[in-house]
A = this chain, B = another copy of it.
Amino acid sequence: MNLKELAGILGLSQTTVSRALNGYPEVREATRKRVMEAANIHNYKPDMRAKGLATGRSMAIGHVVPLSTQHEMVNPVFADFIAGAGEIYSDNGYDILLSVVADVDEENAYRKFRSGRSVDGVIIHGPHAEDPRIALLTELNIPFVVHGRAGDNEDRYNWVDVNNRHSFLRATEFLLDLGHKRIGLLNGLESMDFARRRREGYAAALLARDIPIDPDLMAAGEMTEELGFRNAKRMLAESAPPTAFLVSSMSMAIGARRAISDAGKTLGRDVSVVIHDDDLSYLKNGSNIPIFTAARSPVRQAGRLCAEMLLEIIANPDTEYRNVLLESELMVGMSTGPAPKQD
């Protein structure tokens, strides 16, 4: 069933049927109603490709997922982010066009989006400290929103980000206030913008209290359970082991907990842990009392915000750059306590 056929059945022109369906005013209400009903009965839905060709819009948002050959990981927050963004897309009739590509082909994926006119806008995930994608998309003139930030020039593109620096600064202070002096940092890859900012926050808090920064207490890497375990284990085995950890993700913290427990220590008593919590739906940080004391910032909400922002930009291209900086919420849970007395 296509427009022509439907128009035929109704004894109307394609023009009128199209207008009736798309809510244009040049059609009598009675006619519109008749058209709508017929469309329903015959289950008519427009061919999106033809519609796209004619209108110039594709009603899809592009997300590129780079599959690195080196680190085999898919960003674990991706599913929840998409769920959040998807809610908004869905409400507005948009779909997601996902391009999974080897990371070396990422640039080409965006170019294909552009030339293929397959998407109306793009969301950038996991920005690095200096991220070439921003310049690329600006050049390609595709509307885009960055989930996170990338280094400087923050006012030259649209982004939604968590105040990672402040979040980790405050979390560090929280541990310092509890008397901890040796605080380990289990961070994400510091080529990532967010991880770099977190380290800055951590370092700034220590410096402000004249606590030396010990490189042995800082680890950065992929945020897996395994790596959380390994790095925590290594630090705990040092001559002056940390009494607290600041951990960049729930999955790493689970690994850290395993290491703490393997070392015969008790979480929240011998060793405190504060995490950044993206509030992933399948790794919730407890129901009432948080398992881990956490700086929480729901990634799903970030997804919603990014999507809303992007759709606004698409509808309204020539406005100022938009930036949203979210503050995390510090939730005190059961994984933190006063620094143990020294023997």
Contact = CB atoms under 8 A, between A and B. Distances in A.
Interface residues on A, range: 35 or more
A174 interface: no
Interface string A51-87: 0110000101000010100001111101110110111
A75 B67 contact: no
A95 B96 CA distance: 10
Interface of A: 1, 43-50, 52-53, 58, 60, 65, 67, 72-76, 78-80, 82-83, 85-87, 89-90, 95-102, 105, 111-112, 115-118, 222-226, 251, 254, 257-258, 261, 280-284, 286-287, 291
A95 B118 contact: yes
24 contacts: A1-B115, A45-B116, A46-B115, A47-B115, A47-B116, A49-B49, A50-B53, A60-B97, A65-B86, A74-B82, A74-B281, A76-B79, A76-B280, A76-B281, A82-B98, A89-B100, A90-B99, A95-B97, A95-B98, A224-B281, A224-B283, A225-B282, A225-B283, A225-B284
Nearest to A51: B116
B83 A65 contact: yes
- Chain A contact residues: helix, strand, loop or mixed: mixed
Contact of A78 (B45, B79, B225): B79
A283 B117 CA distance: 37
Contacts of A80: 74
A15 to B, nearest CB: 19
A65 B49 contact: no
Given A67-B90, A74-B281, A79-B79, 20 more contacts: A45-B112, A45-B115, A47-B53, A47-B116, A47-B117, A48-B117, A48-B118, A49-B50, A65-B82, A65-B86, A74-B82, A76-B282, A78-B79, A86-B100, A95-B97, A95-B118, A96-B100, A97-B97, A222-B282, A224-B283
B97 A49 contact: no
Instruction: Rank and list the top 5 A-B pairs by shortest CB-CB distance, nearest first.
Output: A86-B100, A45-B115, A48-B116, A96-B98, A76-B282
Nearest to A75: B79
A72 B257 CA distance: 26
A52 B43 CA distance: 22
